Chain A
């Protein structure tokens, strides 16, 4: 392994990841308000503007926002190199994603072309900058490491997802272009929700689950093979549907079936490892993680029912189940994993930054009460448990509201509560950080050299 140029001093300035983490829940609040405002109208058709706006507030505004922030934190620790890009560069990515998502949602609900154009400009700028910096990091070096392999696949998946998204956005902004976008919608969703989300969960969990929960190691070969299979299946599905290759329907179903087996393998594999963990103390992140994987398994099971044993009775519910799958994949699979991860990553970031700061101001260490918080003083077990209850109840209510429309206000309300709580917990954490940082800085500084 070539270790030249790698660094052990891999903590990015705290405001880089936090900027993304603190913006994301605001989009969650907006999404929940949308549900309260539109009510069960949202479950009428997936093409409704409100529904499209809601989807993208969650997928871009919440999911991608946190994921980018987390990658700025994870990647340097995992591979010993920062993601290239100075503060202004990262600020542009953040601002572009924030404004782009807001413009996109506004475009969907107002039908005004100008917002689509603005969204197109800001989102393409933001995501291209991010993709470029990630690619430049992994294109040439580090042979063999699983994480580098995964980042390469993920970069490709992100680019495909975003490219399809931007192409459809162009069709909205400039209808004269004649782009027929509807056939790309499912493929865009598949690359985003199965490709990007599942592969990212594979990449991150393969690194953190064995460490934090003391489980047996993931088999590198299995994960690499699985990731390549998933990628290959996505490519085949996309090509056959874009070019309407005249495969018989049963062959297409067979390819989807292969994908579903790959995903079941992944979920069962990880759940088994989690079950075998030696660190069995109660942990809310594990609960979030299980909820995430069970959401995906539920989608696959019900998908099988519809596709393998279609009959008039089940097909009657097909439109509703399209929404059930959407809710479980976005709010169940992705959002659960993300909120679960935030319960650990934010307290750790704050602890680590305060601890490092206190080493530079050593006299602060003897101050009582301690100025360096432990993780549970930042987000307590109880706070995380409340979050889990709010999240699970809002997920179930959302799913039920698809069948019983009178529940939709309650579902929106619980989702709002879920994000109000997340916003409160994250901003309170940030406040605690600022307060104690200020206190530590009152003590004299000692010079240290951690070059390399």
Chain B
């Protein structure tokens, strides 16, 4: 269905990231550092892929179509930076095998990520689906990214 193209595609990518996150966190909480860090790196790469799909493709399209450059997308970019900062800190904790610090940061990241996702899924993605007539093509480009 055309009206939910971007919403469906992006929301299902959120779910994928969540699942990778949960696996990494679980492994590290069981002190399985080798597999845990590997899984964590995969999650971090997937999360970064998600951010760049938005920052490089989706947001610029939305901004140029609607003229809204200082509003919602800027807010989302700022939240991406918040999450990047947490991922960086968690990387450091993972490298020094500091489990408590790692889990404290992932807990914070999880809540930040979820309230961010909720805003995107409830508001921003439906807005992009409504305002971008070339949604199918945009999804195609994001998928190849």
Where the two chains meet, the residues of A that have a C-beta atom closer than 8 Å to any C-beta of B are: 1, 3, 6-10, 77-80, 145, 207-208, 211-212, 214, 278-282, 344, 347-348, 351-352, 355-356, 359, 365, 374-377, 381, 448-452
Q: Per a CB cutoff under 8 Å, which of A6, A212, A282, A352 touches B110?
A: A212
Q: Per a CB cutoff under 8 Å, which of B19, B23, B74, B118 touches A211?
A: B118
Tell me whether A77 and B29 are in contact (CB under 8 A).
no
CB A100 to nearest CB in B, in angstroms, measures 32
Tell me whether B115 and A77 are in contact (CB under 8 A).
yes
Residues of chain A within 8 A of B123, CB atoms compared? 3, 6-8, 80
Contact status of A450 and B26, CB under 8 A, knowing A211-B118, A374-B104: no
Residues of chain B within 8 A of A355, CB atoms compared? 82
CB B83 to nearest CB in A, in angstroms, measures 10
Across the A-B interface, the 9 shortest Cβ-Cβ residue pairs: A376-B104, A452-B71, A211-B114, A279-B22, A449-B70, A278-B22, A374-B108, A281-B29, A375-B108
Binary A-proximity of B89-114 (CB < 8 A = 1, otherwise 0): 10000000000100111011011101
Name the interface residues of B71-88: CB closer than 8 Å to any CB of A.
71-72, 74-76, 78, 81-82, 85-86
Residues of chain A within 8 A of B118, CB atoms compared? 77-78, 207, 211
> What separation, in Å, do the CA atoms of A71 and B127 have in the docked complex?
25
Tell me whether B105 and A374 are in contact (CB under 8 A).
yes
CB B130 to nearest CB in A, in angstroms, measures 7
Which A-chain residue is minimally distant from B77 (CB atoms)?
Answer: A450
> What separation, in Å, do the CA atoms of A77 and B126 have in the docked complex?
15
Contact status of A8 and B22, CB under 8 A, knowing A77-B118, A77-B119, A212-B111: no
- Cβ-based interface call for B135 (8 A): no
CB B86 to nearest CB in A, in angstroms, measures 8
Of the A-B pairs whose beta carbons lie under 8 Å apart in the complex, a sample of 7, sorted by A's number, is A1-B130, A279-B110, A348-B111, A352-B112, A359-B78, A374-B107, A450-B74
- Cβ-based interface call for B18 (8 A): yes
- Cβ-based interface call for B42 (8 A): no
Which A-chain residue is minimally distant from B73 (CB atoms)?
Answer: A8
- Cβ-based interface call for B122 (8 A): yes
Contact status of A281 and B25, CB under 8 A, knowing A374-B108, A452-B72: yes
Binary A-proximity of B12-28 (CB < 8 A = 1, otherwise 0): 00000011011101100
Residues of chain A within 8 A of B111, CB atoms compared? 212, 344, 348, 351, 375
- Cβ-based interface call for B68 (8 A): yes
Tell me whether B104 and A8 are in contact (CB under 8 A).
no
> What separation, in Å, do the CA atoms of A451 and B104 have in the docked complex?
32
Residues of chain A within 8 A of B25, CB atoms compared? 279, 281
Please report the number of residue pairs spanning A and B whose Cβ atoms sit closer than 8 angstroms: 108
CB B96 to nearest CB in A, in angstroms, measures 15
> What separation, in Å, do the CA atoms of A381 and B111 have in the docked complex?
15
Q: Per a CB cutoff under 8 Å, which of B21, B22, B75, B126 touches A3?
A: B126
- Cβ-based interface call for B58 (8 A): no
Tell me whether A452 and B75 are in contact (CB under 8 A).
yes
> What separation, in Å, do the CA atoms of A351 and B86 have in the docked complex?
11
Binary A-proximity of B48-75 (CB < 8 A = 1, otherwise 0): 0000000000000000000010111011
Binary A-proximity of B104-145 (CB < 8 A = 1, otherwise 0): 110110111011011100111011001000000000000000
> What separation, in Å, do the CA atoms of A70 and B72 have in the docked complex?
24
Which A-chain residue is minimally distant from B71 (CB atoms)?
Answer: A452
Q: Per a CB cutoff under 8 Å, which of A78, A211, A381 touches B117?
A: A211
Contact status of A8 and B68, CB under 8 A, knowing A212-B111, A280-B26, A281-B103: no
> What separation, in Å, do the CA atoms of A278 and B18 have in the docked complex?
9
Tell me whether A451 and B70 are in contact (CB under 8 A).
yes
CB A371 to nearest CB in B, in angstroms, measures 12
CB B121 to nearest CB in A, in angstroms, measures 10
Tell me whether A79 and B70 are in contact (CB under 8 A).
no
Tell me whether A10 and B26 are in contact (CB under 8 A).
no
Contact status of A451 and B71, CB under 8 A, knowing A3-B130, A214-B22, A348-B111: yes
Residues of chain A within 8 A of B68, CB atoms compared? 452
Instruction: Given A8-B124, A78-B118, A280-B22, output 20 extra A-B contacts at Cβ < 8 Å.
Output: A1-B130, A3-B127, A3-B130, A7-B72, A8-B76, A77-B118, A77-B119, A207-B118, A212-B110, A278-B22, A279-B21, A279-B22, A280-B26, A282-B29, A348-B111, A348-B112, A365-B85, A375-B108, A376-B108, A450-B74
Most chain-B CB neighbours within 10 Å: which of A280, A375, A377?
A375
Tell me whether B18 and A214 are in contact (CB under 8 A).
yes
CB B135 to nearest CB in A, in angstroms, measures 15
> What separation, in Å, do the CA atoms of A450 and B119 have in the docked complex?
14
> What separation, in Å, do the CA atoms of A381 and B21 have in the docked complex?
20
Residues of chain A within 8 A of B26, CB atoms compared? 279-281
CB B33 to nearest CB in A, in angstroms, measures 15
Contact status of A8 and B70, CB under 8 A, knowing A278-B23, A374-B107: no
Residues of chain B within 8 A of A351, CB atoms compared? 108, 111-112
Residues of chain A within 8 A of B78, CB atoms compared? 356, 359, 448, 450
